[in-house]
Amino acid sequence: MNTNRSEVYHAIDTERDYQESLARHTVKDQSPMEHLAIIEVIAARMKQDFYYEAGQPAGDYMRKIAAVAVYCMEQHGAINRSN
């Protein structure tokens, strides 16, 4: 299944909205390394589900990973590609 870029960004936005709704009770900025650790945990769960749940689809996990990366850039800045 192919999805166009605007649909992908919309899915990431919905995940960010969800993450923000959970974070309303905790106001703590995270370092980029903490964001990376969260991404690694999500990726590990994705691998486990893939191997133990007969190839579980990755889209749910990739949306979460992308949203964590977006949140990191929201907190610490987004740098445009220069070349």
Indicate the burial class of 43 (C-beta count within 10 angstroms; 0-12, 13-18, 19 or more): middle
d(CA 45, CA 57): 12
pLDDT above 90 covers a percentage of the chain that reads 61
Q: Is the pLDDT of residue 26 over 90?
A: no
User: Would 7 be classed as within a structural domain?
Assistant: no
- 12 contacts 66 by C-beta, under 8 angstroms: yes
Cα distance between residue 29 and residue 35, in whole Å: 10
What is the span of the domain harbouring residue 41? 31-78
23 within some domain: no
Whole-prediction pTM value?
0.85
Residue 10 included in any domain: no
Per-residue pLDDT at 25 = 65
Domain assignment of residue 8, yes or no: no
pLDDT(55) > 70: no
Whether the predicted pLDDT of 1 surpasses 80: no
- Select from 46, 37, 27 the least CA-distant residue to 68: 37
